[in-house]
Amino acid sequence: MMNLIVFFCLMALGYLAGTWAEKRHYRSIAQREANWLHLPAVTLPQAGIEPGSIASSRLVSGSAVISIDYFKRFLAGLRNLFGGTVRSYETLIDRARREAVLRMKAEASGAAVIVNVRIETATIGGHRSRRNKSVTCLEAIAYGTAIYLQNK
């Protein structure tokens, strides 16, 4: 009985700590997105920029690796038994993609626009056996071409 109580206490502690860390990360992302709002990142190849006004361009990228906490991994395992949307993985992907885009924008500081933006994701870990295929970490990489305009 004591082992069961300890297990539930640790699960509750994991839930609280994981929720706190995730909310803190989302607040950080929202604040940095507001700071980088002036730098558009688009999938368009030209984004309405005249070729004669371009001073230079370069490849920029941003990468983020986000880990899921134990409690959410446990809940995702239960969700896999019954089927349905795995919300904990959706938030993991959302955080990783947004963080990668922010890091890409930080690398393109001074650019007018980032064009041809692409985002890719990959899972890391969790494939130790055929039965245990849970995701432990997710990597997202965002890359595009930063366009710098001539000063007039």
Q: What is the pLDDT of residues 89-145, one digit of tens each?
A: 888 899 999 999 999 999 999 999 999 999 999 988 765 555 555 667 889 999 999
DSSP string, 27-70: HHHHHHHHHTTTS-B-S-SSTT--GGGEEEEEEEEEEEEEEPPH
CA nearest neighbour of 97 among 34, 36, 29: 29
Q: Please give the model's pTM, rounded to 2 decimal places.
A: 0.81
pLDDT at position 42, please? 87
> 25 falls in which pLDDT band (50, 70, 90)?
very high
pLDDT at position 133, please? 59
Ranking 8-12, 37-41, 55-59, 131-135 by mean pLDDT, the lowest is 131-135
pLDDT at position 2, please? 85
Q: What is the DSSP letter of 118?
A: E
Q: Are 37 and 76 in contact (CB under 8 A)?
A: no
* 52-96 confidence digits (pLDDT tens): 788 899 999 999 998 877 777 777 777 677 777 777 788 889 999
Domains of the chain: 2-149 (3.30.110.70)
Whether pLDDT at 152 is above 70: no
pLDDT at position 100, please? 97
pLDDT at position 120, please? 96
CA nearest neighbour of 74 among 89, 56, 64: 89
